[in-house]
Amino acid sequence: MEEVELAQRDITPLAELVGTDRWSHVQESWDAARNELSGQTIWHVNATATGGGVAEMLLALLPLWRTTGIDTRWLVLHGEPTFFGITKRLHNLLHGSPGDGGELGEAERTNYEQVLAANLDHLRTLVQPGDLVVLHDPQTAGLIEGVKALGARVIWRSHIGRDDPNEHTARGWRFLAPYIEHADRVVVSRLLYRPPTVPLHKIAVITPCIDPFTAKNMDIPADVVEKVLVQAGLLEGERDGLVEFPRRDGSTGAVRALDNAVTEGGPLPRGARAIVQVSRWDRLKDMSGVMRGFLDNVTAPDAHLVLCGPAVDGVSDDPEGAEVLADCRTIFNALDDSAKGRVHLFSIPMDDTDENAYIINALQRYAYAVVQKSLFEGFGLTVTEAMWKSRPVIASAVGGIQNQIAHGIDGWLLPDPTDLASLGAEINVLLADERVAQRLGLAAKEKVLRRFLGDGSMFSYALLMQNLLSEG
Ligand code: UDP
């Protein structure tokens, strides 16, 4: 296992942003939780420090947890390709999709348990009786019983799920049920995502959130946005001097002149209006569907589509990424020249996560509109991120996206995520009337300010801890 170093954070800017009233509730609840925990440590364990929503949220939240005076630490488990193949299968199944259709029999269970047994050995050297351990997602469920045996309380946090369970979700939960029954609490993003075998009194619902001050979400002036994109090679123009960004550790980085971030389609031309989807290269994000929906329906000549994800060697627990990007490239290469001129595939390196975050931030801000046409979605932080940047968002009415967008008020939903004509029609309306786009964007930012900054989630966790720790 690797420990991820957590940045020092000053809580004042968040407290100021959300206001004294809201913040004082958070503080009181954490003071009470700290008393219950009486000096013990909170450990978080997940499968990756970079790439995807879970890593993003832990990077955002855990430094804030530390400011409350509770020793909070983050460990990333160690796995190998077979293990991550099995856990990716589970991930797809819990979203209700067959994934690679592979087995989940005794051989898979043995591999899963062996990999986690090795990780448990490491945890034995760290976790003390009375500690609280928060284990994230299917990759960690097999640790629950072992960690409980160390005398710790265990919360299992599941970030995925599906509103209408089917035979695939049932299969995924069947594999996990013997592990998660040992958890003291199971946290889900929506009540509908709860594992069917866990009694309701053990379930808690906590909504994900973003950190408005990190490189991913901090304000960037429009002229700097362009400089970042030019420097990264994503927007046409002359590179012009140093483009700096703040790192989580407090130091300053400089955006590199990236030569390989554009995978297909060249950089965005000046003056183009960019319709952007940012996602991991995962089939459930349906990047290729976005491409078809755009090319078959969007007519404005200045509208360009950007599909942007991480460089595929960068997300270690996501073996599907390279395949999905390769499929998108195949579709791109079969397009005629005029279509090729309107689509851009970007893969941003993940070797420097602060730089990656800053480039994604700039791209989201540069977007005329943001799309998230997921077939299924746990919560969809990319939607929250774009809303925070006052972008009009068109996103599938699936999973946690429905918690975020009130259709027609602060974004638009796509009732059927496979309906490519409606996606194109919604994009066309936004392109035709910039005022509509602006109004949706402003309301979107307001919504995130009210609901999806870190304070709400901190408040919920503090109450959950109080409940759990006072049980004795
Ligand atoms: N992301 C990123 N770089 C990329 C693509 C995605 O940092 O090239 C981030 C994105 O900004 C968001 C997270 O990965 O913070 C994706 O989270 P989401 O909840 O949308 O989906 P998940 O990947 O967890 O399914």
Nearest atom, ligand 1, residue 383 CA: 20
Q: Which amino acid is at 224?
A: V
> What are the structure tokens assigned to 327, written together?
């499929």
Beta carbon of 307 within 6 Å of any ligand 1 atom? no
Q: Which of 280, 347, 385 to mutate to test the pocket of ligand 1 (most atoms within 8 A of CB)?
A: 280
Tell me 151's DSSP state: T
Q: Which residues, at least 6 apart from 16, have a Cβ–Cβ distance to it below 8 Å?
A: none
Beta carbon of 426 within 6 Å of any ligand 1 atom? no
Beta carbon of 356 within 6 Å of any ligand 1 atom? yes
In the reported structure, the alpha carbon of residue 261 is separated from the centroid of ligand 1 by a whole-number distance in angstroms of 16
Q: Which amino acid is at 222?
A: A
Nearest to 197 by CA among 220, 215, 180, 214: 180
Query: Domains (ranges, CATH) in the chain?
Result: 2-209+453-469 (3.40.50.2000), 222-451 (3.40.50.2000)
CA dihedral 51, 52, 58, 64 (to 10 degrees): 90
pLDDT at 315: 57
pLDDT at 5: 93
In the reported structure, the alpha carbon of residue 316 is separated from the centroid of ligand 1 by a whole-number distance in angstroms of 14
Find the radius of gyration of the CA atoms of the chain.
22
Structural contact between residues 218 and 212, judged by C-beta atoms closer than 8 angstroms:
yes
Place of tokens 């957590």: 6
Q: Give, for all 472 residues of the chain, the pLDDT tens digit.
A: 999 999 888 899 999 999 999 999 999 999 999 999 999 999 999 999 987 889 989 988 999 999 999 999 999 999 999 999 999 999 999 999 998 999 999 999 999 999 999 999 999 999 999 999 999 999 999 999 999 999 999 999 999 999 999 999 999 999 999 999 999 999 999 999 999 999 999 999 999 999 999 999 999 999 999 999 999 999 999 998 899 999 988 899 999 999 899 999 999 999 999 999 999 999 999 999 999 999 999 999 999 999 999 999 855 667 789 999 999 999 999 999 999 999 999 999 999 999 999 999 999 999 999 999 999 999 999 999 999 999 999 999 999 999 999 999 999 999 999 999 999 999 999 999 999 999 999 999 999 999 999 899 999 999 999 999 988 6
In the reported structure, the alpha carbon of residue 319 is separated from the centroid of ligand 1 by a whole-number distance in angstroms of 15
Question: Is this structure's pTM higher than 0.75?
Answer: yes
Tell me 71's DSSP state: -
pLDDT at 470: 87
pLDDT at 188: 97
Helices (H), 300-348: 321-333, 337-340
Q: Which residues, at least 6 apart from 363, have a Cβ–Cβ distance to it below 8 Å?
A: 229, 234, 274, 276, 278, 306, 308, 346
Beta carbon of 361 within 6 Å of any ligand 1 atom? no
Q: How far is CA 29 from the centre of its chain?
A: 26
Nearest atom, ligand 1, residue 210 CA: 15
Give the number of other CB atoms < 10 A from CB of residue 6.
20
Place of tokens 């029609």: 425
